[in-house]
Chains A and B, each alone.
Chain A
Amino acid sequence: MLCRSTARLCLSAGAALCQSAARPSPSAGLRTSAVALAGPVGAEPPLELRPLNKDRSNPVPVETSIAYLQSAAYRATYGSEPVWRSYRRNHKGHIPPRKTRRTCIRGGQLSTGNPCPACRDEYLVLDYRNVALLRQFVSESTGEILDTSRTGLCQVKHRELLAAMTKAREYGTLAFDVPFRVYDYSEYKPSAA
């Protein structure tokens, strides 16, 4: 795992660890083909580290985001934890402000030094079809949508999340519990002939 000081680089553009492949040097006297140098057949391409991209003027399609959440780059960046777990807000003093900032993106560009978990990674799209991402913002024990005090999302992204959750419930992409309905059979019994 890369050290913390380069964490910002890690989280940009869906990039993650750079992999140092052990290549035999030409002077070692080994002769291998290009196929062998590429690694075992069927292996994923090596993950590369890219510089931070602040441009948010071209939104990523939701299908790309769904594929990203299953990819090795996502796994290397976030592991099995929710995307907001590693985020820490910067604020004066011991107690954070009640509300998070209004937005991290102004004029189509990241305009803050510590963007929220949904803004910093442009491949995380809050959409009703992106169930793997939406599930990370729902409490395991009570089924509630987590508050910004826990997730650290900016207000605009939090509202996008609420809209996506409402649509997910409408279209049934996200399963959720409903209250138990008690029937009064006397209302439905056929009247005695």
Chain B
Amino acid sequence: MAFRRLLSFNHVGNNFCRKYCQGVASRDPSLYFFSSRVQELLFQLNDRQHDLVFKPRKLGQKLDAPQYVFMTDEDLDKERRRIEQCLREKLQVPPVLGPRKPIERVLAKDPRLEGLHDSKLVCIDISPDLSDRKRMITVREPDGTLRTANWHERGRINQIFLPVDGRTVTMPKMFEEPHLTECLDREEYVSVLDRACVQFEPDDPDYIRVTSATYDHVDAARLYERLQSTRHFGALAFYLAWHRRIDNLLLYFIQLEKLDQAVKLIHLYRLLRSAEPISDQTPPTRQESSQSDGFSSSSESGPESESSSSDSDSDSEGVQLDIIRDYIENASVKRPVLELALQNFQHLSAERRRVEREQRRADGRQ
């Protein structure tokens, strides 16, 4: 409770680490995260460059020489579909949950056992087919109380008896201050986040603290491309949309002229702002379907055709610009900067269209 009060009075600014369930209405992000619409948006917001997604990890394994295989067209299609499936697996976003609640409860009190042992005894069910989160772990205190283990004890005992590769029994010092800040200042974001995913469970308060600090640092430094084509970009986008701080990322997309990504980000922001948790059964609202029309028309105008491409481009671009302008006017914090960026983009694209028209006219004359 004291920590919560400190957070509300401390004006440090963007470098502040926030917990997901802080605020007037403490909502649970897991009610929104697992919806298929949110998941699809998080996947689409990623760059998905194959070279970066499938970059090999150096884990001390023996390297094999590359294989060159002759394939038929059918084999090639099958291989492409397999790669798409692998891409989805590699870009699986780590689950976003609220902080976990205590699960310690007393099972029995036996005061006659006091003095029998001078240390606690831990009992764990090591059946391999059980989930680590549901495994029975109990503790017999020296005073005879039999209770279930708390989350910290559960993590340690699970790691001792059923170790996970890459995880340590005690939390590495790199996740404590000042070492965490030093790692972030060296811009080793992916390394910190990958290790946090392996070390912690998604609802561990330490995991939430470490990931929040990393996302805050990335947002403050505007180094979004470090997380692009990794699984963490989706988690970053969710974090920013949840905390209603998408302006910097929106500016980044507009400056890179990725309007479809900007529109998807705004869509995600609106989905996460809705009061009702999204379930897959509720149909999309009219506003969402008009936005998704904006997506589909932009994706259809992807391959450039000859003469009418510029017109269809400008139509879908117009829809996207409307959506972005609507957000900037109603919901953004950094309104002047975003408006300026949007104006620059419009000037640039108008210039580009004019140059293209003159080029075509010149080619036609030739």
- Residues of A at under 8 Å CB distance from B? 139, 141-144, 169-173, 175-183, 185, 187-190
Total residues of chain B contacting the partner, CB 8 A: 37
CB pair A178 B58 closer than 8 Å: no
Q: A178-B194, A189-B34 are in contact. Are A172 and B179 (CB under 8 A)?
A: yes
CB pair B166 A178 closer than 8 Å: yes
Within 8 Å by CB of A143, from B58, B172, B174, B183, lies B58
In the bound complex, how far is the Cα of B59 from the Cα of A144, in angstroms? 7
CB pair A182 B61 closer than 8 Å: no
Interface readout for B180-204 with A: 1 if CB under 8 Å, 0 if not?
1011000010011011011000110
CB pair B166 A179 closer than 8 Å: yes
Residues of the B chain whose Cβ atoms lie less than 8 Å from the Cβ of A182: 89, 92
Interchain Cβ contacts under 8 Å between A and B, 21 examples: A144-B60, A169-B172, A170-B172, A172-B172, A172-B174, A172-B188, A172-B192, A175-B188, A176-B191, A177-B58, A178-B194, A179-B57, A179-B59, A179-B165, A179-B166, A179-B198, A181-B197, A182-B89, A189-B30, A190-B28, A190-B30
Q: Is B90 positioned at the interface, with any CB of A under 8 Å from its CB?
A: yes
In the bound complex, how far is the Cα of B28 from the Cα of A91, in angstroms? 67
CB pair B183 A177 closer than 8 Å: no
Distance in Å: Cβ of B132 to nearest Cβ of chain A: 9
Q: A172-B174, A172-B179, A179-B57 are in contact. Are A190 and B89 (CB under 8 A)?
A: no
Sorted nearest first, the 6 A-B pairs with minimum C-beta distance are A172-B174, A143-B58, A175-B191, A177-B57, A178-B166, A188-B95
In the bound complex, how far is the Cα of B97 from the Cα of A162, in angstroms? 37
Residues of the B chain whose Cβ atoms lie less than 8 Å from the Cβ of A139: 58
Within 8 A of A (CB), among B88-121: 89-90, 92, 94-95, 97
Residues of the B chain whose Cβ atoms lie less than 8 Å from the Cβ of A190: 28, 30-31, 34
In the bound complex, how far is the Cα of B186 from the Cα of A172, in angstroms? 10
Q: Is B131 positioned at the interface, with any CB of A under 8 Å from its CB?
A: yes
In the bound complex, how far is the Cα of B63 from the Cα of A139, in angstroms? 12
In the bound complex, how far is the Cα of B57 from the Cα of A176, in angstroms? 9
CB pair B97 A188 closer than 8 Å: yes
Distance in Å: Cβ of B311 to nearest Cβ of chain A: 43
Q: Counting chain A CB atoms within 10 Å of each CB, which of B60, B63, B165 scores highest?
A: B60
Distance in Å: Cβ of A39 to nearest Cβ of chain B: 35
In the bound complex, how far is the Cα of B31 from the Cα of A188, in angstroms? 11
Q: Is B11 positioned at the interface, with any CB of A under 8 Å from its CB?
A: no
Q: Is B173 positioned at the interface, with any CB of A under 8 Å from its CB?
A: yes
Q: A141-B58, A144-B60, A177-B59 are in contact. Are A170 and B92 (CB under 8 A)?
A: no
Interface readout for B328-339 with A: 1 if CB under 8 Å, 0 if not?
000000000000
B-side interface mostly = loop
In the bound complex, how far is the Cα of B17 from the Cα of A167, in angstroms? 27
Distance in Å: Cβ of A56 to nearest Cβ of chain B: 30
CB pair B131 A187 closer than 8 Å: yes
Name the residue of chain A whose CB is nearest to the CB of B90.
A180
Residues of the A chain whose Cβ atoms lie less than 8 Å from the Cβ of B63: 141-142
Q: Is B133 positioned at the interface, with any CB of A under 8 Å from its CB?
A: yes
Name the residue of chain B whose CB is nearest to the CB of A145.
B60
A-side interface mostly = loop
In the bound complex, how far is the Cα of B202 from the Cα of A141, in angstroms? 31
Residues of the B chain whose Cβ atoms lie less than 8 Å from the Cβ of A181: 94, 166, 197-198
CB pair B198 A172 closer than 8 Å: no
Within 8 A of A (CB), among B35-72: 57-63
In the bound complex, how far is the Cα of B166 from the Cα of A30, in angstroms? 69
Name the residue of chain B whose CB is nearest to the CB of A175.
B191
Distance in Å: Cβ of A128 to nearest Cβ of chain B: 10
Residues of the A chain whose Cβ atoms lie less than 8 Å from the Cβ of B188: 172, 175
Q: A178-B195, A181-B197, A182-B89 are in contact. Are A170 and B58 (CB under 8 A)?
A: no
CB pair A188 B183 closer than 8 Å: no
Residues of the B chain whose Cβ atoms lie less than 8 Å from the Cβ of A170: 172-174
Extra 10 A-B pairs, beta carbons < 8 Å, given A143-B60, A188-B202: A144-B60, A169-B172, A171-B179, A172-B172, A172-B195, A177-B194, A183-B95, A188-B95, A188-B203, A190-B28
CB pair A180 B57 closer than 8 Å: yes
Residues of the B chain whose Cβ atoms lie less than 8 Å from the Cβ of A176: 58, 191
Residues of the B chain whose Cβ atoms lie less than 8 Å from the Cβ of A141: 58, 63
In the bound complex, how far is the Cα of B92 from the Cα of A172, in angstroms? 25
Distance in Å: Cβ of B272 to nearest Cβ of chain A: 15
In the bound complex, how far is the Cα of B171 from the Cα of A171, in angstroms? 11
Distance in Å: Cβ of A38 to nearest Cβ of chain B: 37
In the bound complex, how far is the Cα of B184 from the Cα of A172, in angstroms? 10
Distance in Å: Cβ of B12 to nearest Cβ of chain A: 22
Distance in Å: Cβ of A179 to nearest Cβ of chain B: 5
Within 8 A of A (CB), among B134-166: 165-166
In the bound complex, how far is the Cα of B264 from the Cα of A186, in angstroms? 26
Residues of the B chain whose Cβ atoms lie less than 8 Å from the Cβ of A180: 57, 90, 194
Distance in Å: Cβ of B169 to nearest Cβ of chain A: 12
